[in-house]
Structure 1
């Protein structure tokens, strides 16, 4: 066979290998039958490609314990070798640092978080992230196989240029410390991505995600893709006005949803109404105890939140609304008023088959979304920029 023919065959084999690897990166473990259907390769070619990838240690096969079995060998799944690489996600929230680690087989290895004062300097936040990574890697991960780090930061606000410089310094610090690429994006948008890859929105093509924490923001999955906006500004639901005569907001507006539905806002409202001392944990306990005053507060806040979501749903027509952040910890005491407010204000057509549910990834959601960003292999990122936040537009 000529060298030219050999080269063509080698190129065809590499194309087939990349087709299989791409499917496994995007979807995790798949059976050989699923790989055959989705790749379009013949059984003989597929067997040859998988055998070669397995021999090189790139993929591994595992028995599907839950699959129906007939006579002969048990059904098998093929997945990327978990030892082939890991990615780290860091969420620099307003008062917490969250870290998560995932391997290339889409298995969550571990997560950790630690609270800090809201005014903690950025170098100290980076040091805290390093300590959390070290805590996880001591028992779970070989850092020599680290492929990248994704970082989530809170959305646009005051001190834009100065904060952008600080974030760039943190990126440089992490890149120098670990020797891998570092990508930065809005953390609520990354939380939406995390829930769509690993959490309660998995498999849905049109999702509105709202996180109610110390800040209020969200993310949009539209037509199976994460939506970023023309200038990286999307999902800022916390800055939709709910009360024109309400308090001033950090964004420069008045009566934004964030002034009503953030952790600090609901805690302050509860205290001003004569509630128990003890901050947010006290409010959680009061709701669990069925205290009327606490539940009435949640009903009011939930109704306003639902009103904002109704406007969003009228515009984008999602299949699913996911509520995350600390306010989701109230469960049905909060989610039911949110859904009632949504249904009272949305167009009937926008409510068709629409469901509202709580996020399932908790505090690790944005960190996991940051990992998906680094891997850049989810179908949700097919049309997403490879460098989401240019230096001049980094979030605060």
Structure 2
């Protein structure tokens, strides 16, 4: 709906709910400034949302309560707990993590579901759907509706259509549309984000201020992938395929990759290659953790393998840094446990040819080890930035208040 002068109305219930989803709790005056409208308009909208039970004053603490225990006149407003539930399903190589939370991002419950690395996509989805239904059943009745689900699969997927597009793990996800399966299974909207991009966003959420403006997270495991968070937003690309670092060629005459190209980083720094070379030089059937332990213990044969892998990653990151100009690169994944054995050669290779503009202040550090709750919280935060969630919250209570204009 537009005004007579053709200017979209401001301060509508949709805009207020969307703002609280994206920005968190705000005072009425802050909402008026943020939405560039009058306090009177905001007051009228807030009155409607309070009557519907969609917003509430922020929980009082000893710091915010007045002497008589009442809320201060200018209390912050947040989305109410009854506004709705949102969920997450995070598919890692050897486990799936599911969880539920309030629409404001507060985590309610999580569950870790171990699985075989060879488990198929349909098997993983079926297990996750069962667990999510159980978590919903455990909520006190009657519980608010489920408004959305954030899914992070460990495969290359079109985040808008749900189509699996390729990558090292895609054969296990073939013949399944991830979006369709989850939407049909739970009857709710689904937002997809590749696991590498989700990992970057989770790492960003775990950082302390001052936050980096442009974060890159590199995952070194049985795949090699990159996630970017720019000004607090995940960079997904036009289809959700941004960050396939493992298929950047560092040697045009190198070995043929499974993607049919030559010299892909994956063939030098993927855990499969590192593990196979470690087994050859030691003559034993090592596990990946055993190979990492040998590298940390200073076994020169294995150290040299991890060093070459780190240097290869540094070479691949050099043009990436020229293009993206990050201020922080975090190195995560299974191989990152090798610490400086892999990080020092990576830094040396990158900074050796780094341009002064980004090389001078760029930091390269190991990624944090995150809890299941932190991973679910990252999914809930990402889902809250989806504009459709505001409309879903309003439509579930009063469709007449949905005004996205």
Partner of 2:58: 62
- C-alpha deviation, 1:26, in angstroms: 0.8
| 209-218 vs 239-248, greater mean Cα deviation | 239-248
Quote the offset at 1:349 in angstroms: 1.0
The separation in 2 between residues aligned to 1:360 and 1:162, in whole angstroms, is 30
The answer to whether the Cα contact below 8 Å between 2:218 and 2:227 also exists between their aligned partners in 1 is yes
1:124 aligns to what? 123
**Structure 1 residue corresponding to 2:353, chosen from 345, 348, 364:** 345
Q: 1:268 to 1:164 in 2, by over 3 A?
A: closer
* Residue 157 of structure 1: aligned partner: 166
Q: Deviations over 1:56-107 (max 9, x none)?
A: 3212323575969998966854322234222222233444333243321122
Q: Deviations over 1:299-343 (max 9, x none)?
A: 332222122112101111122223332233444554444333322
Q: Which position in structure 2 is the counterpart of 1:189?
A: 197
Q: 1:63 to 1:370 in 2, by over 3 A?
A: closer
Aligned CA distance change for structure 1 residues 292 and 97 (closer, same or farther; 3 Å): same
SS in 2 for 1:233: coil
Query: Which of 7, 16, 21 is residue 20 of structure 1 equivalent to?
Result: 16
* Structure 1 residue 183 displacement after superposition: 3.6
Distance 1:326 1:131 in 2: 28
CA contact (8 A) 2:197 2:226 kept: yes
Where does residue 101 of structure 1 map in the other structure? 100
Partner of 2:206 in structure 1? 199
Is this contact kept in 2: 1:237–1:308, CA < 8 A?
A: yes
**TM-score normalised by structure 1 residue count:** 0.74
Distance 1:29 1:82 in 2: 13
Q: Specify whether residues 162 and 342 from structure 1 end up closer, same or farther in structure 2 by C-alpha distance, changes over 3 A only.
A: closer
Q: Using structure 2 for the length normalisation, give the TM-score.
A: 0.73
Q: What SS does structure 2 have at the residue aligned with 1:15?
A: coil
Alignment of 1:328-339 (within 5 A): 328-339=336-347
Q: Partner residue of 1:166? A: 175
5+ residue gaps, structure 2: 157-164, 388-405
1:282 aligns with 2:290: yes
Match of 1:268 among 276, 289, 312: 276
Report 1:62-101 matches (<5 A).
Answer: 62-63=58-59, 76-101=75-100
Q: Deviations over 1:9-50 (max 9, x none)?
A: xx96x8344333222111223455644543445566555544
Residue in structure 1 matching 2:386, options 377, 385, 388: 377
Match of 1:29 among 13, 25, 29: 25
Q: Tell whether the 8 Å contact from 1:88 to 1:99 is kept in structure 2 after alignment.
A: yes
Residue 289 (structure 1) shift: 4.7
Change (3 A) 1:63 1:84: closer
Q: 1:258 to 1:101 in 2, by over 3 A?
A: farther
Q: Contact conserved, 1:212 with 1:328, CA < 8 A, in 2?
A: yes
1:176 aligns with 2:184: yes
Q: Which runs of 5+ in 1 are unaligned?
A: 379-396
More helix by share: 1
Structure 1 window deviating more from structure 2 (43-52 vs 320-329): it is 43-52
Contact 2:83 2:144 in 1 (8 A): no
Using the TM superposition, give the Cα deviation of residue 239 of structure 1 relative to its aligned residue in structure 2, in angstroms. 0.7
CA change 1:62–1:224 in 2 (3 A) is closer
